[in-house]
Structure 1
Amino acid sequence: MRPLRTLSATGLIAAALLTGSAALAAPLGSPAVPASSAGTDPFAYKRGPVTITQHSVENRDGVLVRDITYAGRDGDPVRAYLVEPARKGHYPAVLYLHWFEPPNPTSSRLEFLDEAVARARQGAVALLPDLTFPWSIDVVGDQRDVANVVAQTVRLRRGLDLLTARAGVSRAAVVGHDYGGMYGLLLASVDQNRVSAAVAMNVDATFSNWFATFFLGLSGDATIAYEKLFERVDPIHFVADRRGVPLLFQFAEPDFFVPDSTRRALVSLASEPKDYHLYPDAGHELNAAARADREAWLTAHLR
């Protein structure tokens, strides 16, 4: 995620479309998040079987990489890779959620594909969906942005439905980078019964911060009002409630997009068990050392 975030939101979305990420998300007119009230879950949805359409399959030395579309919220299509060992068996699962870095091709389901293939060779199933908000849906500056965060989260919960329907899979680890990591933090809380472990790489504490700063250019009272819209869905309000789901934070030091105060706030508020690794001069994309640590940590926590 380079400082091209300072481009207009329209320019950013156009760049995102060039990566080939599927524009498959709910329209901007999707329903708003329910009004705040005790017991109301903004991420509630109806669970059920997930329809999958396979477009192609590639065998990479004993690992099957399936190019699929699965039915997300209300049946909306989500393009993804489903990666699994060619040999039948009962395996742990990982949901990989990519970063926002247009026009980099890895600003898509491609970011973690090599990691997923390597993990499958060790014995694991992985789902790598193309994320769509804010990749291919514009940030507009009102309640529709919150609704689109909710819709994206529900699409990912449907991804968990898909993974946990595979033979022998009951829970899945979640690995996310940048916005993908922020969605992963939400899943580690709202789906704590199905998430076995979570990795959050260079994440922000709130959705409104990056939206207001790099997409909308808000300031003053306009920023404060916009921030309030997201209070019920911001990751910082969820990291304390994981009920034992292990969490690994990975941060670059320094990072243009994640101030020291932000990462310290997230880490301090997160409940145990948690691990916290800093990578000097690794950049927002992180580096090979971070990948090695992440893979070792997952190996230790996948059962």
Structure 2
Amino acid sequence: MLVKDSDFNSLVPGLPLSRRTFVGGSLAAGFALAVRPAQGQSVIQTEASGLSTGDISIKATDGVPVRAYWVQPSGKGPFPTVLVVSEIFGLHEYIRDTCRRLARQGYQVIAPNLFQRQGDPASVGSVAEILSTIVSKVPDAQVMSDLDACAAWAGANGGDPARLAITGFCWGGRISWLYAAHNPQLRAAVAWYGRLTGVATGTSPKHPADLISHINAPVLGLYGAKDQGIPVSDVEDMREDMARAGKRAEFVIYPEAGHAFHADYRPSYRAEDAIDGWARMLAWFRDKGV
């Protein structure tokens, strides 16, 4: 089924919210389905015509040139900026197409390759291997620093540093929560099925549920009731804890969706929920001044 990017421009009436039990053990919980997608080719295909786009290199604070995909409307700007954080499968065509969809809404968009120091997910044959050999070795602190470098690059290259947002999918959804607690200049975050709890490790010492008091930016969380790695109870507990702490957040739980319901190159894709989530994301950004 071909879904046009124009389908993402209309809002769908709200869906009901739903209540966090800790699900420990597997590193894969809340990250991905058991089967690794063969490739990241999107069902939705967004043209680059009329956009400025390309692969760039951004110098990180440790001196490493971080590769990234950059796209924005033609012209000088300044444009509001959105950082896009990938799933565990990295910076493939689905993520690039997602960036172009956002650029067509008037945003400068940067999607960094946050795994490049540890490896290339495209060269690994299974989800378990990606998690054990690459993702588990990526320090959260390194990711936050790389995203800071992308935000600084954006502000110096046509982006508006006062209108900065982030969105991410799966692993990137968790990172979006973390960045909302890390960068006080962030205006808004949208986390697509990002894991909220987990075991503390050397590379990931804190999870979103541990950082509620530090979260400054308003966060929209988009989740599936049938996600086998992120229980509805986790989402509902996070909602309650955020409200109790006086934090700005909204949660949408799609009753029939599982994990990765926005990933249009995977069997988990649910077009209706993806379209609704996309519209909610755009409305969230604009309502928060991004």
Give TM-score, length-normalised by structure 2: 0.68
Q: Out of 122, 126, 142, which is 2:109 matched to?
A: 126
Q: Distance in 2 between matches of 1:298 and 1:148?
A: 28
In structure 2, the partner of 1:246 is 218
Contact 1:109 1:129 (C-alpha < 8 Å) held by counterparts: no
State the shift of 1:197 in Å. 0.2
Is 2:177 the partner of 1:182? no
Q: What's the secondary structure of 2:188's corresponding residue?
A: strand
State the shift of 1:190 in Å. 1.3
Is 2:185 the partner of 1:197? no
Query: Which ranges in structure 1 are unaligned for 5 or more consecutive residues?
Result: 5-14, 21-58, 209-226
State the shift of 1:228 in Å. 6.3
For the aligned residue pairs, the C-alpha RMSD in angstroms reads 3.0
Distance 1:239-1:178 versus aligned 2 partners, 3 A rule: farther
Give TM-score, length-normalised by structure 1: 0.65
> Match of 2:114, as an amino acid?
L
In structure 2, the partner of 1:98 is 86
Q: Out of 251, 260, 281, which is 1:294 matched to?
A: 281
Q: How many residues align?
A: 227
Moved over 6 A (4+): none
Instruction: Show the 5 A alignment for 1:94-173.
Output: 94-100=82-88, 102=89, 107-132=90-115, 136=121, 139=132, 148-167=139-158, 169-171=160-162, 172-173=164-165
Q: What's the secondary structure of 1:281's corresponding residue?
A: coil
Contact 1:207 1:230 (C-alpha < 8 Å) held by counterparts: no
Distance 1:147-1:87 versus aligned 2 partners, 3 A rule: closer
Is 2:258 the partner of 1:283? yes
Distance 1:128-1:147 versus aligned 2 partners, 3 A rule: closer
Percent identity of equivalent pairs: 24
Instruction: Show the 5 A alignment for 1:6-155.
Output: 60-100=48-88, 102=89, 107-132=90-115, 136=121, 139=132, 148-155=139-146
Distance 1:19-1:68 versus aligned 2 partners, 3 A rule: farther
Q: Out of 34, 44, 48, which is 1:3 matched to?
A: 34
Indicate the structure whose relative CO is greater, using CA pairs within 8 Å and at least 6 residues apart: 2
Query: Which ranges in structure 2 are unaligned for 5 or more consecutive residues?
Result: 1-31, 41-46, 122-129, 262-273
Contact 2:239 2:251 (C-alpha < 8 Å) held by counterparts: yes
Contact 1:200 1:247 (C-alpha < 8 Å) held by counterparts: yes
Distance 1:175-1:62 versus aligned 2 partners, 3 A rule: same
Q: Distance in 1 between matches of 2:227 and 2:138?
A: 28
Distance 1:237-1:146 versus aligned 2 partners, 3 A rule: farther
Instruction: Show the 5 A alignment for 1:204-243.
Output: 204-208=195-199, 227=200, 229=202, 232-243=205-216
> Match of 2:255, as an amino acid?
P
